[in-house]
Structure formats: structure tokens, C-alpha cells
Amino acid sequence: MEKGIKIRKIRAADVSEIVAIQESILQKKVSKKWVQMAEGHLKKQEALGFVALKGGQVVGFIIGEIKWEGFGLEQSGWIQVVGVHPRQMGVGIGRILAERLFSFFKKEGIRDIHTAVRWDAGDMLSFFKAIGFDRSPFINLRKHLD
Ligand SMILES: CC(C)(COP(=O)(O)OP(=O)(O)OC[C@H]1O[C@@H](n2cnc3c(N)ncnc32)[C@H](O)[C@@H]1OP(=O)(O)O)[C@@H](O)C(=O)NCCC(=O)NCCS
């Protein structure tokens, strides 16, 4: 990985830099709901996630969650969202953030990690495949309410 990158636990105060990264990835403002989701996670007493810093600035983030029960699983780790600033993509930051989260899950005794990716997000699929993900035994279902 590129030199000068530091990884630390995520903090509530990181939310504005995380939103800025997400907006530069998407090239548009993120929704209020997205900001609330990020804030909600970071306000939890044991906020679960990591940020990558370069020159003291947040350049990447990963937010995860432990589900104690659900989907017929007793305990599972989930990646909610991961993002790297477009200027810093492709130098190993996403991988190192994911690996830190995996180590955290492992220490908690969690062996299975899940995430969901849009079917047409080829870059995300390639990233997850590169860091060891494969198809899960689940299928996603959706119902739209008018
Ligand atoms: C996907 C993302 C998190 C990966 O982080 P990153 O720091 O760029 O990735 P890394 O440099 O750590 O790459 C790790 C591995 O994934 C692969 N990978 C990463 N991005 C890839 C891409 N766009 N296409 C193909 N492979 C990719 C790399 O080849 C690498 O494999 P290797 O280690 O075997 O060489 C980051 O690029 C990102 O935030 N992308 C934008 C995602 C997006 O569009 N989000 C909006 C919807 S939520």
C-alpha cells in the first residue's frame, strides 16, 4: 500500500469527511437518509469501522455491523458501506480497511462476513471478489410499496 497511510477506528466527528468522500465518488450530494445512516452508525457507543488517513485527512472509510441474529444466522459480520476518495483509489486503501474490519470480526468470533452490491456495480463486485468474497447462500428479495 502507498506510504503515509494510517488506519484508525472511525469516530463520530469523521462524518463530514466521510460524506465529502461519498459525494466525490457519486459526483452529487448524498441524500439526508445516507447522512443519517452514517451518523447513526458513528454515534453508537462502539462505532464499528475504520478510516484511512493521509496527511491527517480522511481518504477512505469502511462501516460494518455485527448482527447477533437474523437471516437464520446466529452471528454475522456485515459491511454496510466502503468508500475511497477517487484520487486515492487503486493503491490498496480499500483492501487494508476491509482487512482491519475482518480482523475485528475474527476477534469477536465471527467467521462469516456479508455484504450486498448492486447487480450492475462491476467495480464493487471486482473489489469484493479480489478481497475474497463469493456468492452467498442468500438471494435478495424486494417488495415495493406505493
Ligand atoms: C471499491 C473501492 C472501495 C475499492 O477501494 P480501493 O482502495 O480503490 O481498492 P484497492 O486498491 O484496495 O484494491 C483492492 C483490490 O480490489 C480490486 N479493485 C478495486 N477497485 C476495482 C475496480 N474499480 N475494478 C476492478 N478491480 C478493482 C483491485 O484490483 C485490488 O485487487 P488486488 O489487490 O488483487 O490487486 C473504491 O474504489 C471505491 O470507493 N469505489 C467507488 C465505489 C462506488 O462507486 N460507490 C458508490 C456506490 S456505494
Tell me the helix, strand and coil percentages in the chain, rounded to 5: 35, 25, 40
Domain annotation covers residue 136: no
Residue range of the domain that includes 23: 5-130
Q: Which of 123, 128, 129 to mutate to test the pocket of ligand 1 (most atoms within 8 A of CB)?
A: 123
| Residues 28-47 pLDDT 10s | 999 999 999 999 888 876 67
| Residues 53-91 pLDDT 10s | 999 999 999 999 998 877 777 889 999 999 999 999 999
pLDDT of res. 54: 96
| Ligand 1 nearest-atom number relative to CA 89 | 8
Domain annotation covers residue 55: yes
HSE on the CB side for 39, CA within 13 Å?
8
Domain annotation covers residue 43: yes
Whichever domain contains 56, its CATH number is 3.40.630.30
Domain annotation covers residue 146: no
Task: Kindly report the pTM of this predicted structure.
Answer: 0.94
User: By alpha-carbon position, which residue is closest to atom 1 of ligand 1?
Assistant: 124
Domain annotation covers residue 48: yes
User: By alpha-carbon position, which residue is closest to atom 18 of ligand 1?
Assistant: 127
Give the distance (Å) from ligand 1 centre to CA of residue 85.
11
pLDDT of res. 44: 78
pLDDT of res. 102: 97
Instruction: Write out the three cell numbers for 31.
Output: 441524500
Domain annotation covers residue 84: yes
